[in-house]
Amino acid sequence: MSDLLGLLTLLAPFFGLIGLGIASAKLAGLPAAGLVWMQFFLLYLALPALFFRLLSDKPISEIANWPFVGLTTLATAAAFVAAFAIGRAGSRRLPENVIGGVAGSYSNIGYMGPPLVMSFLGPAASAPVALIFVFDTLFLFTAVPALMSLGGIERQRPLAAALEVLRKVALHPFLIATAVGILASLARWQPPQALDQMITWLSGASAPCALFLLGVSVALRPVDRVAGTVAALVLVKLLLHPLAVWALLLAVGGFDPVWVQAAVIMAALPPALNIFVLAGQYRAGTDRASACVLVGTVASMATLTLVLWLFRTGALPPSVPGG
């Protein structure tokens, strides 16, 4: 019982800030346009500062764990395929199925992942958190435009579409910050004191701002109906995805238990807000995307607590016994 109370105490601030965002959106009645500067602050300043901080003080040998990257990305790809197939059973429209695939595989690894995982596991989890963010993002933001091209949404020629994807990936502020952090690690460079203090403040602001923004955004998204397909997609995201990560990492073996736990928790996070952004960009499956984010965020209060409790009590081993 004490373990469960401890986990609820750990999770309460995270979901409490999301709840404050939801309540504020419902009570204040302010327009969604007011979120623009907060989104800019998070996307271009606070979260990049956090990712730089996560990697800049890590030895490069700790960061370059390619078997871990390959297996976690494979699990994300498997979740994408499973969710895509679920959507395909209910609709033959490829763009909607692609959005469904993202809903079942892309966790809230930017806003919610780093603060939650490191609150539970400590600074040792920073490297796997950053790696999962980088390579899950690379996979999904490459696969989605490619598949949308097949569906006739993207009207560019294949080469032009590929170059556009590469440009968007290369210029993503999270990935730029990650690259700078790796270069700082290689060069063993420490920012000057004033700049280091700014980075500390920015990275410290990322979690409360992101969670509050998540709550506001969820509250402002229209959800007209919640179909059985949405429930199935949320099931893939919150249960099958983390189970796939755990099974693959244990099957291969040899990974630090902290890295295994970090990977499973990242996979168990609710669907990312970026799903709604993608749905709006491609004008496909916006209702389903909104419902997945809302239902997934609410349901993750129970499923995340379960995953953390299984790790805390040893019921879900992060390594093979005796391995």
Q: What's the rounded mean pLDDT across residues 2-16?
A: 78
Question: What distances in angstroms separate CA 239 from CA 104, 266, 268, one per listed residue?
Answer: 10, 12, 7
The contacts of residue 288 (CB under 8 Å, 6+ apart) are: 87, 96, 99, 100, 103, 227, 229, 230, 233, 279
CATH topology classification for 46-313: Na+/H+ antiporter like fold (1.20.1530)
Q: What is the pLDDT of residues 204-223, one digit of tens each?
A: 887 788 788 878 877 877 66
Is the pLDDT at 52 greater than 70? The verdict is yes
Residue 148 has pLDDT above 80, yes or no: no
φ, ψ of residue 23 in degrees (nearest 5): -65, -40
Q: What is the pLDDT of residue 159?
A: 67
Q: Where do the domains of the chain lie?
A: 46-313
Mean pLDDT of the chain: 83
Tokens 């309540």 identify what position? 23
Residue 206: predicted pLDDT: 79
Lowest-confidence pick of 154-158, 227-231, 287-291: 154-158
- 252 near 67, Cβ under 8 Å? yes
Question: Is residue 315 over pLDDT 70?
Answer: yes
Say whether pLDDT at 57 is over 80: no
- Lowest-confidence segment of 107-121, 193-207, 210-224, 293-307 by average pLDDT: 210-224
221 — phi, psi (to 5°)? -80, 135
- 111 vs 189, higher pLDDT: 189
pTM of the model: 0.81
Task: Determine which helix (DSSP H) or strand (DSSP E) holds 149, and give its type and residue range.
Answer: helix 126-150
Quote the CA–CA distance of 179 and 105 in Å, as a whole number. Answer: 24
> Is residue 47 classed exposed, middle or buried when 0-12, 13-18 and 19+ CB atoms within 10 A define those classes?
buried
Report the pLDDT averaged over residues 157-171.
67
Task: Tell me what pLDDT residue 246 has.
Answer: 96
Q: How confident is the model at residue 281 (pLDDT cuts 50, 70, 90)?
A: low
Which is higher by pLDDT, 91 or 175?
A: 175
| Nearest residue to 100 via CA among 134, 138, 132, 143 | 143
Q: Which of 35, 17, 48 is nearest to 198 (CA)?
A: 48
Core vs surface per residue 88-127: b (16+ CB within 10 A) or e: eeeeeebbbbbbbbbbbbbbbbbbbbbbbbbebbeeebbb
Amino acid at 195: L
pLDDT of residue 83: 93
First-last CA distance in the chain = 29
Q: Could you give the CA distance from residue 273 to residue 269 in angstroms, rounded to a whole number?
A: 12
Structural contact between residues 91 and 22, judged by C-beta atoms closer than 8 angstroms: no
- Residue (of 227, 244, 224) closest to 80 by Cα position: 244
Let me know: does 197 contact 156? Beta carbons within 8 Å.
no
